[in-house]
A = this chain, B = another copy of it.
């Protein structure tokens, strides 16, 4: 589909490297006060005055992190930005700028990259971040996207992974497992399509979980909610690899243990029905699925009244002494040690 056989499509080489960057980025406005100079020099220039700067970077590789047979390029651009902004929000900071670098093979025409950048542009607009730099080069095979996100915060607002204390509440935003189940649906439809290219998939019943996979949203609203509620998380991380893996990161960095209650894990009804259809345990999906980009944080019990009843937040457990370890307390009240079954990008498939 993306092969450059169409005579109406524009070869990347006809633009050259500088022409390509100019072309793809010319419609990105700069809105952040802290952006002094964006794209077009050796480096961007930013001004954070007396605030701290936070920086995060992620690399997305075709065939490892995304499959273009069901991931539209516009969604991919949007999601690539979300993956990075999510890390900034997980520091309880405001995302302000991104840089985007691409390695792309000649099989992509210019119009494909324009689609990708349309998704990046939409994300920068909705999340109010400036695109301030990047690099574009050729690759011998697929598409690789490298994004660095930059944000700002005052020192006392920044939340690390290391601040959780014994007895703190463990809280998760939104619901879990949707992105993973959306992927299962898309992969099944891909197999059906291989057998019968004329089949018309009906994704309507799965729209929520498919959207969770294809167009996730980073939780910018939680950063704003904390400000409004005057809540101060003690530790925080974003859920990119699955709840289990992220809990273990918090425990390791904060030197605490954890009890996670299976019955408390927030699951959308669509996730539960998809799990039944695919005969997968929904708890396992929430623990190991990943890519939901929700936030996981700990909170002093004294602050519970601030978050009580908030539909965005679910208390799923509490932190314990380090030597008690990290456990899932199952519905039948047995304690199962949590293991990092988060997705391992080096595993042989």
Contact = CB atoms under 8 A, between A and B. Distances in A.
Contacts of A234: none
Protomer copies? 2
- State which size class the interface on A falls in: 35 or more
Interface stretch (A142-150, A200-208, A301-309): A142-150
Contact of A146 (B93, B97, B146, B340): B146
Contact of A55 (B49, B64, B86, B99): B99
Given A15-B346, A144-B144, A346-B106, A55 B61 contact: no
Contacts of A141: 140-141
Contacts of A64: 103, 137-140
B46 A54 contact: yes
6 contacts: A16-B346, A41-B91, A44-B55, A46-B55, A57-B135, A59-B103
Nearest to A46: B53
A224 interface: no
B40 A253 contact: yes
A91 B45 contact: yes
A52 B36 contact: yes
B99 A344 contact: no
A347 interface: yes
6 A-B pairs with the lowest CB-CB distances in the bound complex, closest first: A43-B56, A146-B146, A42-B90, A13-B346, A42-B87, A46-B53
A258 interface: no
B47 A135 contact: no
Given A13-B344, A55-B99, 20 more contacts: A13-B348, A16-B344, A17-B344, A17-B345, A41-B91, A41-B162, A42-B91, A42-B236, A43-B87, A43-B88, A46-B52, A47-B53, A49-B50, A53-B150, A57-B148, A58-B135, A59-B103, A59-B135, A106-B346, A138-B345
